[in-house]
Structure 1
Amino acid sequence: MRFGFSMNAFRQYELREGIEALSEIGYDGIEILLDEPHLFPGTATDEDIEQVLTWLDEADLTISNCNAFMLSAIEPSTESKAAEYNRDTEDFHHPSFVEPAAHDRQARIEHTKNALETAAALGAHSISIPPGGPVAKGISRNVALEAFLEGLREVAKTAERVGVDVLVEPEPLLLIETSDDFLELMDRIDSPRVRCNFDAGHFYSVGEDPIELVETLGPYTPHYHLEDIPADRRHEHTQLGEGAMDIDGFLEAVEATGYDGFVTVELYPYGETAKEAADGAMQYLEAHGWV
């Protein structure tokens, strides 16, 4: 089991700065943000990709995953912006796979296909994507699920062609929230390239025990996200050891499966103090004997 850190906390930094910082702190891996301001698949050139690969080689860092979940480079249409939601949503969720407007749904699909191509060029094994998205008022869950399945089947073709996994990441307040939601989705998707980005904090936030889910979702999981979550289980990514999750128990459960891939720490709300957050997480992992 190896540890990475997600660059979505480093959006106020140049990509090279983030790479160098994580190398100095001692991480083995890095989750590349496939969005502005780092490496947006819609504009990234072959030269850009080669430059990133050079930086990673110099820093001795391996790509743990490519984050195609967050999306700020594409503005949703006026129609989707005008939609109302039953719950608060973050700007980077839009445009989603389940937007009211078909052209916005297609924009997310095309971005995901481009992200898969970019990940393949980087030599990455996977990208993570949102589990549908927030569902607008007036749209039933069944209608939203069908829209998500339609988009997922389209991007799965690209995933199979380029040999990169597309990892659905269940998240509170979005279409696919729970482990049961995810397993239902798997029953309706026939592609070996569609799998799970297991975010421990997300499952904890929806009232599940991520430790118990390690065995259940293990066959679908080639990559994990880790953060702490407050005791009231609100979806707020918190520094390791500063919330209520049993971080060590979770890592013990993952280790017991023989998993030898990456656990990526994801602390995107710490944008003002990204280096300090990455260092603090590493200090926790070192103090608890994980690295």
Structure 2
Amino acid sequence: MKLAFSTNAYTNDTLPEAVRRIAAHGYEGVELLGDTPHAYFPEFGADDAAALADALTETDLAVSNINANTATGYYDDAPPSSFFEPSVINPDPDLRAWRVEYIKRAIDLATSTGAPAVCLATGRPLPGTLPDEAYQLLRDSLHDILDYAEPRGVDVGIEFEPELLIECTDEVLTLIDDVGRDNLGVNLDIGHAAVYGEDLRESIEQSAGHITGVHLEDIAGGIRGKHYHLVPGDGDLDFDVVFDALDSIGYDGFVTLELYTYPDRPDEAAARAFEALAGYF
């Protein structure tokens, strides 16, 4: 396993500067935020890509994942809880197509940076859209996305989250089986599994062979605790169990710390998280 840190903790910095600051803490990898203020794809141009490439070459960091869960840059004045809209299950075909194309641009960035995967969240069914209808829209969107990702050698990981259409391990594994595509998997957020009330060892072991990446954070209250991302050691999750389970299934990919809750002190969060977890690596 390799330890990475997401740039979504560094939203007060440019993307190249976030990469350099993460490298200074000893991480092997970096996850790139596919949203404002880092790589919001309608505005992420050739100069931005070149500056990112320079930072990655300078730091020798590998890219663990492109995080395309959100697209808040779509809004000039984002409404509350807009995080996942426009989503891949939006009933408006134009908005849904916009989001599918957005994910394809994330796949392009994965290709150019050597990232093995992109992750996306399903979003919530909007009022007037039944869950079964939203699920069919999700299937259709995913086939379009996977058709684009497959020849480029990029995996697509669904990140489940409580209150979204796909919100737990059983649901994401059912979706993977239903879609039936080799390059569809799960970006397994350990904290999300905990908040949903899952046994973390079981969630990891059930996901064996389907994990495109792992997101890690601590949760106060442990299982069924509050969904607020904390530096490991500040909450109640048992990381011995987490890493023992990952070892037991032979997982050898990236474990990425996702600590977007620390935008005003990201270096402190990155340093303390590295210190807390270095023994596992």
Name structure 2 gaps, 5 residues minimum.
none
Structure 2 residue aligned with 1:146: 136
Residue-pair matches, total: 279
> Structure 1 residue 235 and structure 2 residue 249: aligned?
no
Structure 1, 135-144 or 47-56: larger mean CA deviation: 47-56
TM-score under structure 2 normalisation?
0.93
Alignment-derived partner of residue 100 in structure 2: 109
Partner of 1:58: 58
Instruction: Tell me the residue number matched to 2:15.
Output: 15
TM-score, normalised by the number of residues in structure 1 = 0.90
Where do 1:60-209 residues align within 5 Å?
60-75=60-75, 90-130=81-121, 132-209=122-199
1:181 to partner: Cα distance:
0.6
1:261 has 2:253 as partner: yes
**Cα shift at 1:108:** 0.9
CA distance in structure 1 between the aligned counterparts of 2:22 and 2:77, rounded to whole angstroms: 36
Report the 3-state secondary structure (helix = DSSP H, G, I; strand = E; otherwise coil) of the residue aligned with 2:5: strand
Q: 2:245 is matched by which residue type in structure 1? A: A
For 1:281, the equivalent position in structure 2 comes to 273
Hey, which bits of structure 1, 4+ residues long, moved more than 6 A? none
Q: CA deviation at 1:76?
A: 9.4
Whole-angstrom CA distance in 2 between matches of 1:280 and 1:9: 13
RMSD: 1.9
- Contact 2:53 / 2:113 at 8 angstroms: preserved in 1? yes
1:266 Cα deviation from its structure 2 partner = 0.5
Show the 5 A alignment for 1:26-41: 26-41=26-41
* Counterpart residue number, 1:85: none
CA contact (8 A) 1:77 1:104 kept: no
SS of residue paired to 1:260: coil
Distance 2:45 2:127 in 1: 39
TM superposition shift of 1:69: 0.9
Q: Cα distance, 1:279 vs. partner?
A: 1.1
Partner-residue secondary structure (3-state), 1:8: helix
Q: What residue in structure 2 maps to residue 84 of structure 1? A: none
SS at match of 2:42: coil
Moved more, 239-248 or 23-32: 239-248
Once residues 252 and 116 of structure 1 are traced to their aligned partners in structure 2, the CA distance between those partners, rounded to angstroms, is: 31
Q: Percent identity?
A: 34
Hey, what's the Cα distance between the residues in 1 that align with 2:104 and 2:62?
A: 22
* Partner residue of 1:224 out of 210, 214, 236: 214
Q: Once the two structures are superposed, what CA deviation does each residue of 1:2-51 show, in whole Å capped at 9, x if it has no partner?
A: 10011111111111221111111111110011222112332323443232
* Deviations 1:71-104 (CA, angstroms, capped at 9, x unpaired): 11213999xx7xxxxxxx7322111112232222
What is the letter of the counterpart of residue 27 of structure 1?
Y
CA distance in 2, matches of 1:156, 1:50: 26
Q: Distance in 1 between matches of 2:177 and 2:251?
A: 24
Q: Partner amino acid for 2:234?
A: E
Between 98-107 and 150-159, report the one with greater CA deviation. 98-107
> What residue identity is the alignment partner of 2:60?
D
Match of 1:214 among 204, 207, 211: 204
Residues 2 and 260 in structure 1, CA contact (< 8 A), matched pair in contact too: yes
1:161 Cα offset (Å):
2.3
CA distance in 1, matches of 2:217, 2:151: 32
- Aligned-partner SS, 1:270: coil
Structure 2 CA distance for partners of 1:77 and 1:273, relative to 1, 3 Å: closer
1:75 touches 1:95 (CA, 8 Å); kept in 2?
A: no
